[in-house]
Structures are given as C-alpha cells and as structure tokens.
A and B are shown apart, each in its own frame.
Chain A
Amino acid sequence: DVKVTQSSRYLVKRTGEKVFLECVQDMDHENMFWYRQDPGLGLRLIYFSYDVKMKEKGDIPEGYSVSREKKERFSLILESASTNQTSMYLCASSLFFGGGNEKLFFGSGTQLSVL
C-alpha cells in the first residue's frame, strides 16, 4: 500500500518563525500536493507539483512556498508564520491523472498551531 508520511503530527510555532513541513511518499508518484483543512472550509489546495522541481499554485498559495528536490519528497514552507496559518496541513500524492488512476493518497496530517 502507498504510504505518505508527514514528519510531524503536531507542531507549535511562534509568529514570524520560518516553518518547514515535510512529506515523503514511497510509491514513486509523479504528483504531490499540499492541502490545508479548516472546519467549514473543507480541503483547500495550497500548491502542487507534477514533477521534480516543478510546482504550481493552488487556490490559496499566499504566504506559502514549496520545494521538490527529489521525487519522493515535497516540502511546504511558511516563510513567516502567522496566526491565520494555524490549521491542519495534509500532504497527498497520486500516480497520474487522466489515465484511470485518479486517486489521491493522503498522509495523516500535521496540526500546526502558530502562537
């Protein structure tokens, strides 16, 4: 089974800190995604990557950046954390879209609190 591993389950940071959220997948998937989950807002796409060093903005990229230096690893970076970035962050990966394999595999999430 595909495994998507997020480095931390819970994270507490201070306003203004630079924050790194790490995600690793073990199934050689081309696509990787970062979502944030907030009550009443559902899952919103922050960034995604369809290849190494390639990235595209999602619906809410402001305040975030990403890095994908290796195929299996996708990092989300909060350059200067703010309290409105307190949220559950979910990483996901998928093999391919459009070929009948349209399935996202999610990690268990990182609950980030910015104080």
Chain B
Amino acid sequence: QQQVKQSPQSLIVQKGGISIINCAYENTAFDYFPWYQQFPGKGPALLIAIRPDVSEKKEGRFTISFNKSAKQFSLHIMDSQPGDSATYFCAATTWGYQKVTFGIGTKLQVIP
C-alpha cells in the first residue's frame, strides 16, 4: 500500500522550462512534507520541506505548493537547468515519529 503517491516517474524538460512533480497522500496524520534530491552515485539530500499550515514555500528556484484539503503537494522547479537533472523524492512524516514515508521518485532530465 503506497501511502505517498508520486508522479510522473520520469520527466524530460527543456532548459529554462518549469518542472512539476506531484504527490498525494492518504494519512491525515502526516504533518511534515520534505522533498529529497538524489544525484547519480549519491544518497538523497534534503532539498526543501513544508508544513501544512502554509500553502506555499519557496527557496530560490524551488517551490512547494500544498493543498491540505486535497491532500496533495507538488514541487515546482522554475527555470530548470541541466544541473537539476536528478531523482526527486517526495516524502511525508508525522511530528514526533521517526519514520519517513517516501514516494517512488521522479527521474528528471533537463535537456539543453
């Protein structure tokens, strides 16, 4: 049972375009939603995260949009660059609980 559903599994975007990755969750107890970025040969690293008391969080070219009523959140990468080519994982967890549940990942390729 996939608690965090992520789409698409792969994405090709032209340089300068907007990359959008979507996630949905079922468990209403989730209250922290991080995104991790993984380059080939490396472990995932925290990119950006949001709590459900805000609808949007922006850090540079990366923005998380959060829709609590729909139980959905998404990552937008503005002005996508070839250096953004990586696998992106959305995730969810609950305050005070160590376990993090990940989506299946999206392999992003930004082409020149």
A contact set with B: CB distance below 8 Å: 4, 31, 33, 35, 40-45, 48, 50, 56, 58, 90, 92, 94, 97-98, 102-109
> How many A-B contacts are there with CB distance less than 8 Å?
60
- Which A residue's beta carbon lies closest to that of B102? A43
**Residue in A4, A44, A50, A102 whose beta carbon sits within 8 Å of that of B93 in the complex:** A102
Given contacts A48-B99, A56-B98, A98-B96, 5 further A-B contacts (CB under 8 A): A31-B98, A40-B104, A42-B103, A45-B99, A108-B42
Contact B99 A58 (CB under 8 A): yes
Q: Does B78 contact A (CB under 8 A)?
A: no
Task: List the A residue with the shortest CB-CB distance to B3.
Answer: A59
Q: How many residues of B contact A (CB 8 A)?
A: 25
B85-103, CB under 8 A of A: which get 1 and which 0? 0000100010111111111
CA distance A29 to B32 in the complex (A): 20
Pairs A–B under 8 Å by Cβ, sample size 11:
A4-B43, A31-B98, A40-B9, A40-B104, A42-B102, A43-B105, A45-B101, A92-B43, A94-B98, A108-B41, A108-B43
Contacts A43-B44, A48-B98, A50-B98; A102 near B104 (Cβ below 8 A): no
Residues of chain B contacted by A90 (CB below 8 angstroms): 43-44
Contact B45 A106 (CB under 8 A): yes
B20 near A: Cβ within 8 Å? Answer: no
| Shortest Cβ distance from residue B79 to the other chain A in the assembled complex, whole angstroms | 26
Could you tell me the distance between the alpha carbons of A19 and B30 in the complex, rounded to whole angstroms?
Answer: 35
Residues in A with CB closer than 8 Å to B32 are 102
Q: How far is the CB of A90 from chain B (nearest CB, A)?
A: 6
